[in-house]
Copies of this chain bind each other. A is one copy, B any other.
């Protein structure tokens, strides 16, 4: 399967597992890379020494390319950058920040840089900053999200038309069918988060994995737009947020409701009521916890079957 994204990363399939807090450590990343996709370690929930250890374990577990997701507003971002350079991580996915800040430095060490965007405006800025590719992530995606609320169906073709570098579609994609739709929109590859939360190798708490597998339609919502928009499951914590809105809470009051370590509590420690459960709308279509290699194989098989059947129509 030839694609600009597979070629850029040196992987078999243009299928990327999103680097997610609390869910994607070395086990998941290495499993996805070994299966022919691109696995990514999510560094946003890791202390610097944890990330270094995770990267080292990933290199032992796979000899294929893998990446690290770097939320650029992370307080110890310089230590993470130093780890990527020292450990010769081949690919960095940067998000939540300014792509001009680290792109050149990472690239000067041979690291490919991909930036996550939610609009054409930010996509053009990322391209101007010299990144190698962008992830265009729609409103339906889990976790932190753009303010424009543009969905994958609308965002991806706009970004593809505006940029010359490869575009990876994200948001609402979980299987071969939605991957084919994203490729039809013009994407060069796809990134999936929710689907890989429900993998055996994900480091998410089993309670969270099971909750995601059970989630039905309409169970997620984009909230806390005054702080940073985030898509979560409507649980007890979300009800507390809703109560605060009902009482016309200020941004400071909302931050107090959010408190600290809410995502860890929910996604890593398995407290489904008091924790913040970040996940995409497509959790409604993810119903099984499976080995990552099986997920990759199923997606690519379905993709090829559907592509062939679309051709015969």
Contact = CB atoms under 8 A, between A and B. Distances in A.
A236 interface: no
Interface residues of A, number: 48
Contacts of A281: 149-151, 154
Contacts of A307: 310-311, 313
B177 A218 contact: no
16 contacts: A119-B217, A121-B217, A138-B151, A140-B150, A148-B217, A149-B218, A151-B151, A151-B153, A153-B181, A154-B217, A157-B178, A158-B217, A177-B186, A181-B184, A310-B310, A311-B311
Interface in A106-126: 119-121
Interface centre among A3, A139, A183 (most CB of B within 10 A): A139
Contacts of A150: 140, 217-218, 281, 284
Interface string A117-157: 00111000000000000000011100000011111111101
Nearest to A159: B217
Contacts of A285: 154, 157-158
A152 B171 CA distance: 11
Contacts of A175: 157
Given A119-B218, A120-B217, A182-B181, A138 B158 contact: no
Given A158-B217, A217-B121, A140 B151 contact: yes
A155 B172 CA distance: 9
A120 to B, nearest CB: 5
A153 B171 contact: yes
Interface in A265-313: 281-282, 284-285, 306-308, 310-311, 313
A138 to B, nearest CB: 7
A126 to B, nearest CB: 15
A11 interface: no
- In the A-B complex, the 8 residue pairs with the smallest Cβ-Cβ separation, listed nearest first, are A153-B172, A311-B311, A148-B218, A181-B181, A180-B184, A151-B151, A181-B184, A140-B151
